[in-house]
Amino acid sequence: MNSTAQLRAPYAEALRSHAGQDWLRLNVPGHAADTAAASSLVRAFGAGVPLLDFPPLLDGIDLGTDTPMDEALALAAAAWGARRTWFLTNGASQGNQIASLVAAALGRTLVVQRSVHSSVIDGLVLSGLEAAFVHPSVDTEQGIAHGVTAADLAETLARHPDAAAAYVVSPSYFGAVADIRALADVAHAAGVALIVDEAWGAHFGFHPDLPGGALSQGADLVTSSTHKLAGSLTQSAMLHLGHGPFADVLEPLVERAHRLVQSTSASALLTASLDLARMTLVTGRDAIGDSVGAADKIRGTIRALGRFAVVSDGFGRFPDIAAADPLRIAIDTRAGGIPGHEARRRLARDHRIMVEVATDSAVVAVVGAGSLPDADRFVEALHCLPSPLDGGADEPLRLSLPEPGPTRLTAREAFMGPSRLVPAAEAVGLISADTLAAYPPGIPNVLPGEAVTAETVRFLQRTAAAPGGHVRGAADPGVTRLRVVG
């Protein structure tokens, strides 16, 4: 990883060189990098963006043998410790869909952490696999899910000898890191591969103050959302294959599934950003250390001032949490007298500060690996927030995660079968045809094939009504109707 080759970004360099030539572009994209004809693009993004916007299959860049693209992929694999890496231009969601499709060749049932991202459930719809769920620990005070223990995974695998693979999430949206080594050992002992949705951990392993990456802990296939904290452009990601006992079987399957779902017009801009992000991570140890220091400063100041609480300070209560991502700053705003959704709204409106996500109880801020935010500005704005709950008002109940309903059909059967829209109250007890997920973070609260519960309906409607709240997959913004099987 420290070789001189890692100091280059071969694909990005080749793309810049290609763009610097005097081309008459009579191919797609239709703007043809004509700065006059594409004036709106130039005004919005500058001349460099359309000039670099080339289609795939260019001689000397990604077509042929030993191309800059080949070199960029090999450097990424070396940087993350993978046997092989694929670049993705439809986000980590695409990686999760590929992993689910691959698993269908290995068995009939995917053992899945129940708090996976909704894209994994989309993958179940595509693959037709049955699912057996491992339930994560839940912080009932915060209403957030963490990870799963090796013991719980082993128990579920033992009940499903036809398991195709085990699918877990680490880190969680709130920065909880699972014991991937123990989970990998359990999966391998059961004769199945461990797939890890490490969307939020693409930066892991690039600094001693960060947790180790899932590949280094024995994971077999890892989805990495490189754009989140590792510095590439939004919608770019990677999929990494490990060196474990399933590598020979998985590699050709992943290659074929990647061709199935990757665009034939993959963005050169997104691809180049992945190449550049890898180079920046490998060479940016000092900058990453400064980022960790800034995040530590924010948490330390919040603790010292005493109004709010740091969510990760309570991680020790949960046996499934092995570490915490120091670049994730989850703050219990309810402890300081203001709901998370209201805190997020006021931070944006009054202070022009964007945080990653809000829940009923908390906000989560993130620090990109290598970035250096104004810690004092954030802490000051946070402590300028009013306490709407003061003055004798009753404190609203915390919004707890609902227990899922029982599974009646596979995700594919429910999603693809006949369905109808009914008022939400009438959907209780019926089988959902859709994935419904409070978003962000996009963790499904009801899956296709699961029975709808009254508790889930209340949770989703209250989430949708909150400032900034959104339910992915809902038939209408207020979740007044649900699509059910039948």
pLDDT tens digits for range 335-346: 999 999 899 999
263-307, pLDDT tens digit by residue? 999 999 999 999 999 999 999 999 999 999 999 999 999 999 999
**pLDDT at residue 143, as a whole number:** 79
pLDDT in tens, 420-456: 999 999 999 999 999 998 876 668 899 999 999 999 9
Evaluate if residue 391 carries a pLDDT over 50.
no
Confidence at residue 181, expressed as pLDDT on a 0 to 100 scale: 98
Nearest residue to 456 via CA among 476, 440, 435, 441: 435
Residue 14: how many CA atoms within 13 Å on its side-chain side? 22
Non-local (6+) Cβ contacts of 66 within 8 A are none
On the question of a cis peptide bond just before residue 50, with omega within 30 degrees of 0, the verdict is: no
The DSSP element (H or E) to which 152 belongs, if any, is helix 150-159
Residue 456 makes CB contacts below 8 A (sequence gap 6+) with 402, 404, 405, 436, 445, 446
Check: pTM over 0.85? Answer yes or no.
Answer: yes
Residues 6+ away with beta carbon under 8 Å from 152: 134, 135, 320
pLDDT of residue 399: 56
Residue 15: φ, ψ to 5°? -65, -45
Confidence of residue 142 (pLDDT cuts 50, 70, 90): confident
Instruction: Specify the fold of 4-283.
Output: Aspartate Aminotransferase; domain 2 (3.40.640)
H or E element in which residue 241 lies: strand 237-241
Report the alpha-carbon distance of residue 33 to residue 240 in Å, rounded: 33
Q: What is the DSSP letter of 356?
A: S
Pairing mode, strands 109-113 and 130-134: parallel
| Whether the Cβ atoms of residue 422 and residue 484 lie closer than 8 Å to each other | yes
Residue whose structure tokens are 């802990």: 217
- The DSSP string of 438-460 is EETTTEEEE-TTBBP-HHHHHHH
411-485 adopts what CATH topology?
A: Ornithine Decarboxylase; Chain A, domain 4 (3.90.100)
Q: How many CB atoms lie within 10 A of CB 71?
A: 18
- C-alpha pair distances (Å), 228 with each of 5, 26, 135, 167: 25, 35, 25, 20
> Among the listed ranges 38-42, 382-386, 466-470, which one has the minimum average pLDDT value?
466-470
- Asked if the peptide bond before residue 56 counts as cis, ω within 30 degrees of 0, the response is no
**Tens of pLDDT along 284-295?**
999 999 999 999
Q: Does the structural domain 286-384 have CATH classification 3.90.1150.150?
A: yes
Share of the chain above pLDDT 70, in %: 96
Give me the residue spans of the domains in the chain. 4-283, 286-384, 411-485
Mean pLDDT within 44-60: 93
Whole-number pLDDT of residue 442? 67
Q: What's the mean pLDDT in 36-61?
A: 91
